[in-house]
Amino acid sequence: MRPLALVTVLALCGPLSSARGQISAPDDGYDLWLRYTRVADTARLAEYRAAISELVVTSGEPTMQAARDELALGLNGLLGRPVPVADAPTRDGSVVVGTPANSRTIEALPLAAALREAGPEGFVIRALPVRGHHAIVVAANRDIGVLYGVFHLLRLLQTGESLARLNVVSAPRYSLRLLDHWDNLDGTVERGYAGASLWEWARLPDSISPRYRDYARANASIGINGTVLTNVNANALILTPAYLMKVAAIARVFRPYGIKVYLTARFSAPIEIGGLATADPLDAGVRAWWAAKADEIYRTIPDFGGFVVKANSEGQPGPQDYHRSHADGANMLADALAPHGGIVMWRAFVYSSEVPTDRVMQAVDEFEPLDARGAFRTNVLIQAKNGPLDFQPREPFHPLFGRMAHTPLMMELQITKEYLGQDTHLVFLAPLWEEVLRADTYAPDPRSDVAARIRGLAGVANVGSDRDWCGSDFNQANWYAFGRLAWDPMLPSAAIAESWVRMTFSNDPRVVRPVVAMMLASREAAVNYMTPLGLAHQMARGHHYGPGPWVAGGRADQTSVYFNRADSIGLGFDRTPTGSNAVRQYAAPVRARFTSRDSVPDNLLLWFHHVGWIEHLRSGRTLWEDLLQHYQAGVDTVRWMHRTWDGLDGLVDTGRFRRVQGFLRIQEAEARWWRDASVLYWQSFSHLPLPPGYEASAHSLEWYRQLRCPPDPRKPRCKPS
């Protein structure tokens, strides 16, 4: 982040003006949502200045120091004047910050009931008299709660909330709120679209990038409390002493911000770095090796969080290599970590070596019987992706969320947009995540939503070494949204979008309203132009960027044709009892809803049913007509987003305005590319005409099929049509 002095100077100077009276200096996006520019609304500014005149922080512990520094930075900027730090409230307007253990003032206040409600990580913010003065109190049971409370208070000011009658008690719903980095030790990032890895392994542990602290600070501001540093396609070297020293150095920077580090454990590490002949989880030597490795890790990193494991999936080694079960593998690692309080997050994204009848059924088939036997140790969590396939623009919720009666579950979301336009397309993911968190599993009863069935959220990070962290200004919103939902999974997408826009761009309603509207429309737009009506996995092979509904060959269940089942009759994967019967993995009411053509939601129709091209849908239109309409709606929405953004010229700084504008240009061309390539391909089966007035495709199907879109630099992303 900018040094304190610079922020203060900028804030005191006031914004630079443009023709429309707003900031126009180019902004590189580095500050994310943590912008503390002077409050523009003069009435609010006067209210804040009257309510806040000094800071009282009495503890010098690292987390409390971080809280004090953040408050000083934020208040100085937002109020446009320095706010002095005092030892005790001396006048009206004190912001008193602390825990009953580190502040006598807080200890003496009547906050016991509220603090009980706040729990170990939550906080209380109240306006109340302290020693005869008007004060604002940010109190918590632990220092980290204070830091979270400080970020919350600053957010209220950033978003222009009134401080009158301030009374907040907030506690996170989950204790595990993690970012998973798919970062490799060579600095590349699997499915990363924001530059190289943040972790400078070659320079660690002696050289500490200042970005580590800025990253930790951004995470703490949204309540994230864990970071898995390494790719699930793991490299055993991370567990060697030299790398553990490097990990310890990162952990030291993260610690004051309440962030624990976790690592991915390569199942074959005992062979690769331990010199053993086997990695069999029931072998005594292997078990001893992992126990000793855990001891060594905790000697180096005393608050180490634990392991994430991808085993027997996409070629990764695992217990099945030794004819052992996932439970045998997970329990071995759990036993090694248990004496130190560590956990194992064992992924349910499994890919068997044989092609199954229906790929989306494998996780339940493998994990439910183990759960039924209570086979997993208590410090094992099974981590499932939101849907049973692979982070598609839309999937039904993963049936595993309704099937595991004994073993705690984590849900993995993908913040990096592997299948949703990667760096350039503006797609706000909170509506996707809200949809799955609120989905009712009916297991064991109605109102058992997915949010209630899990113990934590892990998000595959979209953060890299790019100056703007995420590869695009709007991708930052997805990092922000993930943290906010991990704290409170019932927070509506609209509220998340609005607070992000206010903090990141402006409180001006001429900006807030249209940008929030764009964000909220963006996910459905992407579904429409990529995979409408429940289609999935229609992306080009490998890079997963552009359309590839024709992809065939190689392993069948990694191809588009396997998932779309297009033929002369119709389109879609029959997962009802007449087909793969994947619906059987859902609780009875959900199964019935998905099985019947009368009740299956239109947006999942082709996920569960093979539908004839000229069959009528509930809309009264045929499948063919509805399909065309959805593709067109996707394109039209992106055009509208583009026009809406153009209308913000002068209301947003030139740097971000132009960057977003350029990306929307790409997105519009590529939405057409998706529509045209897909429609032409389906037409080669349906042989049905386009209705009069339907925008004709610019090129032939063959032209689209031979396009090698990124990363091939010799081809354009998409030829302008």
The verdict on 559 binding ligand GCV (CB under 6 A) reads: no
Instruction: Report the chain's terminal Cα–Cα distance, integer Å.
Output: 42
Cβ proximity to ligand GCV, 182 vs 563, nearer residue:
182
Residue 238 in the binding site for ligand GCV (CB under 6 A): no
Residue 578 tokens, joined: 């007449």
* Nearest-angstrom CA–CA distance, 495 and 484: 10
Interface with ligand GCV, residue 68, by CB under 6 A: no
Angle CA(507)–CA(508)–CA(511) in degrees, nearest 5?
100
Q: Which of 28, 61, 295, 314 is catalytic?
A: 314
Tokens standing for residue 312: 């027997």
Specify whether 335 is catalytic.
Answer: no
Nearest to 294 by CA among 253, 263, 256, 259: 263
Q: Among residues 233 and 559, whose Cβ is nearest to ligand GCV?
A: 233
Closer of 184 and 632 to ligand GCV (Cβ): 184
Backbone angles phi, psi at 458, to 5 degrees: -120, 130
537 binds ligand GCV (CB under 6 A): no
The distance of closest approach from Cβ of residue 544 to ligand GCV in the complex, given in angstroms and rounded to an integer, is 6
x/- letters, 169..208, toward ligand GCV (CB under 6 A): -------------x-------xx-----------------
The Cα 628–Cα 632 span in angstroms is 6
Q: Which of 180, 280, 418, 625 is catalytic?
A: 418
Integer Cα distance of 91 and 672 in angstroms: 62
By the rule CB under 6 A, 310 interacts with ligand GCV: yes
Closer of 31 and 183 to ligand GCV (Cβ): 183
Binding residues for ligand GCV restricted to 318-347, rule: CB under 6 A: none
Cβ at position 542, least distance to ligand GCV in Å: 9
Could you say which residues in the range 407-466 bind ligand GCV, by CB under 6 A?
A: 418
According to DSSP, residue 387 is labeled S
Site size for ligand GCV (CB under 6 A): 10
Catalytic status, residue 314: yes
**CA 448 to CA 444: how far, in whole Å?**
7
Of 417, 33, 435, whose CA–CA distance to 222 is shortest?
33
Closest distance to ligand GCV from the beta carbon of 368 (Å): 20
Per rule CB under 6 A, is residue 311 in the interface with ligand GCV?
A: no
H or E, element range at 50: helix 42-51
Instruction: Give yes or no for residue 615 binding ligand GCV (CB under 6 A).
Output: no
Q: Is 390 in the site for ligand GCV (CB under 6 A)?
A: yes
Q: How far apart are CA 672 and CA 670, in angstroms?
A: 5
**Minimal distance in Å, beta carbon 711 to ligand GCV?**
14
Residue closer to ligand GCV, measured from CB, 8 or 312 = 312
Instruction: Check binding of 593 to ligand GCV (CB under 6 A).
Output: no
Closest contact distance (angstroms) between CB of 414 and ligand GCV is: 8
Considering only 90, 233, 352, 629, the residue that binds ligand GCV (CB under 6 A) is: 233
CB atoms within 10 A of CB 19: 8
Question: In angstroms, what is the minimal distance from the CB of 178 to ligand GCV?
Answer: 15
Beta-ladder partners of 130 = 133
349: contact with ligand GCV by CB under 6 A: yes
The single residue listed with the structure tokens 């027997």 is 312
Rounded-to-integer distance, Cα 296 and Cα 304, Å: 11
Nearer to ligand GCV, 294 or 344 (CB): 344
Cβ-based nearer residue to ligand GCV, 460 or 512 = 460
Q: Return the SS3 of 77.
A: helix
Q: Pick the closest to residue 400 from 369, 376, 373, 367 (CA basis).
A: 367
CB of 558 to ligand GCV, least distance (A): 8
Respond yes or no: is residue 418 known to be catalytic: yes
- For helices 430-437 and 475-487, what crossing angle results, to 10°? 30
| Distance of alpha carbon 604 from alpha carbon 394, whole angstroms | 8
E strand map for 289-363: 306-309, 343-347
CB of 528 to ligand GCV, least distance (A): 23
Q: What is the rounded (10 degree) CA torsion for 308, 309, 314, 320? A: -170
β pairing state of 570-571 and 343-347? unpaired
Pattern 672-711, binding to ligand GCV, x per CB under 6 A?
Answer: ----------------------------------------
Closer Cβ to ligand GCV, 61 or 314, answer by number: 314
Under 8 Å between Cβ of 462 and 193 = yes
Please tell me the distance from the alpha carbon of residue 339 to that of residue 221, in angstroms, as a whole number.
Answer: 31
Is 363 a binding residue for ligand GCV by CB under 6 A? The answer is no
From the list 180, 183, 371, 390, the catalytic residue is 390
**CA dist., res. 182 & res. 471, Å (int):** 16
Residue list 244-283, contact with ligand GCV (CB under 6 A) = none
Q: Which residues bind ligand GCV (CB under 6 A)?
A: 182, 190-191, 232-233, 310, 314, 349, 390, 418
By annotation, the residues acting in catalysis are: 314, 390, 418
